[in-house]
Amino acid sequence: MRIVILGAAGMIGRKLALRLGALGALAARPVTGMLLVDRIEPQGLAAPFAVETRAADITDPAALADLAAWRPDAVFHLAAIVSGEAEADFERGYAVNLDATRHLLDALKAAQCRPRLVFASSLAVYGVPLPDVVPDDFNLTPRSSYGAQKAIGELLVADYSRKGFVDGISLRLPTIVVRPGAPNRAASSFLSGIIREPLNGLSAALPVKRSMRTWIASPSVAIESLIHAAGLTPEEAASARSLTGRGISVTVDEMIDALREVAGAAVVARIQDQPDPAIERIVASWPQAFAVDAATRLGFPVDGGMKAIIEAYIAEELGGRRAA
């Protein structure tokens, strides 16, 4: 089993590589090699198989042809310009989020290796008006450039799979909370920031109303969901080429309440309401809850609640300790 991870220098890509390195196998098949790719060269890792790292511009079709020539059995396509940045830089958003996806599919088609392709999609493929609980078969009506790019990517993956060029599945990941490290330019970045920064002794800006509800998952559930998608049988993948990952539906207030329960009122006091209409407009267009029938039927994992997510972040990223 040969695996390529595109976007391997990002938080999810790095954690995915480490997890696969620890497992040493995917879908009960031993991993024999892994190629980690990003615009900057990703870190290597110790693993019971060969690991190669490579810096590449995924907007260059020639670079993607080189990756396809490696003849992977599984490809995790995580590389993307995040939502806020894609909205601010229209041309670059389409070049990275759409054109590169098409070039990747064409390169894999030309290489005739038909890998399992896991495409990291987004809840941004949906847009208002929305029902309170979004079913699996709800129409994709994105209200941002990022959402449009991801929705088109899903259609491409499904069509290239229909033609037998790849065996793909698009997984709409919930918003990942709590993301370690520095904030990024995603419109949803504050959802991690209002937990992460206070736990690290820093103030955090809250740009939306506290009543706002959102669909979230922990980094570990996101990683296990990607791995689970890669391990589905061809028949299972064909039954759900695009699906929403299992998450939990919480309001910002409920997130803050969980933080207060875990860390205390002094930590919560570091959260400052700073309304940002641009951020609120983007995030308010995203769904708040899902009926994830397909993901549940296929056995995807789910978190145990907001308190468990916060406690896992403290244990895994802060060594069990937090700022007073």
**Active site residues per annotation:** 146
CA distances from 124 to 76, 102, 135, 175, 299 (A): 19, 19, 15, 10, 23
Q: CA nearest 75: which of 246, 229, 234, 240?
A: 229
Element (DSSP H or E) covering residue 43: none
3-state DSSP assignment of residue 298? coil
Retrieve residue 166's tokens. 């790849």
| CA angle at 277 for the pair 205 and 259, rounded to the nearest 5° | 30
Which residues touch 130 (CB under 8 Å, ≥6 apart)?
Answer: 138, 287, 288
- Euclidean distance between CA atoms 124 and 130, whole angstroms: 12
3-state DSSP assignment of residue 176? strand
| CA angle at 47 for the pair 76 and 55, rounded to the nearest 5° | 50
Q: Radius of gyration over alpha carbons of the chain, in Å?
A: 19
Buried b / exposed e along 276-313 (16+ C-beta atoms within 10 A):
eeebeebbbbbbbbbebebbeebebbbbeebeebbbbb
- Euclidean distance between CA atoms 148 and 164, whole angstroms: 24
